[in-house]
Amino acid sequence: MTPLKGADLITSYLKTLPDAPGVYRMMNAAGDVLYVGKAKNLKKRVSAYATGKVHSERLTRMVAETAEMLFVTTASETEALLLESNLIKQLKPRYNVSYRDDKSFPNILLRQDHPFPQLLKHRGAKSEKGVYFGPFASAGAVTRTLNTLQRAFLLRSCSDSVFAARTRPCLLYQIKRCSAPCVGRLDEAAYGELVTETADFLHGKSRAVQDLMVKEMTAKSEALDFEAAAKLRDRLKAMSHIHASQGINPSTFDEADLFAAHTEGGQVCIQVFFFRAGQNWGNRPYFPRMPFDMQLPEVVESFVGQFYDNRTAPKLILLSEDVEDAALLAEALGSRAGYKVEISKPQRGEKREIMDRALTNAREQLGRRMAENSAQLQLLEGVAESFGLDAPPRRIEVYDNSHIQGAHAVGAFIVAGPEGFEKSQYRKFNIKSSELTPGDDYAMMREVLTRRFARLVKEEAEPIENTKWARPDLVLIDGGPGQLSIACQVFADLGVEDVALVGISKGPDRDAGREHFYIPGKDPFRLDLKSPVLYYLQRLRDEAHRFAIGTHRKKRSAAIGANPLDEVTGVGAGRKRALLQHFGSARAVAAASLTDLQSVAGVSETLAKKIYDFFHSGGS
């Protein structure tokens, strides 16, 4: 019996579907999810697919490919909307709007778990005790704001261990970016006033903070305390700089996220602006993938639902489009946030002016991206022609190794494609083999390629969702015939096929522009010195080299900075400092006798025995 498919299959589900809200998934014969949708009434919504009442060309194709459907009933349409957004973001179905969202947004954290709170950049889960301000659009925006806040409020940025170890003010105090509470230049009460001013400023009470500071500066000046007045003047200048650097700051609302969408040529750009405490805290562009016949309001609605899948929405969300389920979306986001969320399209006044500026940004950003993508596609077509590929590669992996005489050896690969460098896909490998001869580049390349493609083979044999190790179309090896031979052996051993292999090596005297290219079974060749494809391949090779070198340097720096005392249980920052001050170095601590160790202040007989045993029994 031929299995049902398309509209006939969908009709067969109608007999058992409830008149209840829920989420449905449509899948093809291979088990790939084609589409995720939500419904106020599952039976009515699914019957529309079977009867063809709501079909566009896109939906007609989708229905024809459907070989299976899965259903989940929910308590309400709001719950269905939230589940739909989660599944779309997780599964990235072909017929839904989806976008890559690799990083969380950074925040500023004012800690509350220390007598002298620290002001620092924070990214990730908000697990530390303190007040969070954000999100900021980029780490650069946070860094610039933090630098200015340090000049304005003189709060410490150092870690607790550094704070506890200071015996004299650091450089930040000298350049007037810290009040040096670590060495008692400011007591806890006075420092607390600075903390309160900082929190007020970040909560939007900047005018009140500035007015209070102006009064204090005037009073100091009238009392002829010109040095204190000058310090207050410098802090006021720093606060003014924050306002000046944040561009369009609204006066009619304090907190909002703004989404401005522009579409052209089958592509879309959504600019997301963040406003907090009456200040513009930056923006970030997104380029979601959308089916070609989907309308822009649908794109915006789906994008917003996914955007807040793992973020808390503000009380006001401004959209450039009228979305059909704005009230439902606001209810869903509000239920998750714990307060009422409003979603609206600005019609007039300041909000409309800000939206118009954001739309201009979206239009210009999309224009730049389309121009870049056009040039990128031409380069990939040139790569395909140069290397005899059937089609332009969509994923290129470039491999390189880095070490110094075999020490701190690492391997790495970078990824590039139609959208340029895909940095979230970069991977690094610490060389693990104990049998490897230090400095043996061939063996290092063998280990890296074996580990990477063994994982690929395993994942393709047992498919998992959302793999981050996709199959490349082209692999570039930084090296000549020897390195390429190793790669061919690894591919043969693992049974990896349909992946093009090319070696790239610099010519005589390692001159850029005289690179030789090696393809299995073909003679080495060079590209024209003025070829844009040659320049593109040089950029790929240099990016892989930069990434491998950077990874190696980090590993080497970590090894240089490591202190064996850090591995001894019971030796914290204070006792480590006491030991190093007493003996002068970790090496001297390791050579010390049990009696000498016991003579150090704060080191008990038990701890001294533990330290002695650590250095004299292999660290066990």
Q: Which CATH number applies to 6-91? A: 3.40.1440.10
CB 244 within 8 A of CB 148: no
User: Around 369, how many Cα atoms within 13 Å sit in the side-chain half-sphere?
Assistant: 21
Residue 94 token pair: 């072909």
Count of C-beta atoms within a 10 Å radius of residue 440: 18
Query: For 470, phi and psi rounded to 5 degrees?
Result: -65, 160
Single pTM value for the model? 0.63
Greater model confidence, 67 or 613: 67
Residues 211, 232: contact at Cβ < 8 Å? no
The pLDDT, as a whole number, for residue 613 is 80
pLDDT of residue 473: 93
Give the mean model confidence (pLDDT) for residues 70-78: 92
Please state, rounded to an integer, the average pLDDT across all residues of the chain.
Answer: 83
CATH of 396-559, one of 3.30.420.340, 2.70.98.10, 2.60.40.1930, 2.60.40.10: 3.30.420.340
| CA–CA dist 585, 615 (Å, integer) | 14
* Residue 71 CB burial class (10 angstroms; 0-12, 13-18, ≥19): middle
Q: Highest-confidence range of 201-205, 280-284, 352-356, 531-535, by mean pLDDT? A: 352-356
Asked which of 324-338, 537-551, 552-566 is least confident by mean pLDDT, the reply is 552-566
What's the topology of domain 564-616?
A: DNA polymerase; domain 1 (1.10.150)
The structural domains of the chain, with segments of one domain joined by +, span 6-91, 107-245, 257-266+285-367, 396-559, 564-616
pLDDT in tens, 286-304: 998 887 778 899 999 999 9
User: Is residue 237 pLDDT above 90, yes or no?
Assistant: no
The answer to whether residue 407 scores a pLDDT higher than 80 is no
Residue 517's pLDDT band (cuts 50, 70, 90)? very high
pLDDT of residue 162: 87
What is the per-residue pLDDT across 193-212, written as a single tens digit (0 to 9) for each? 888 888 887 776 666 666 67
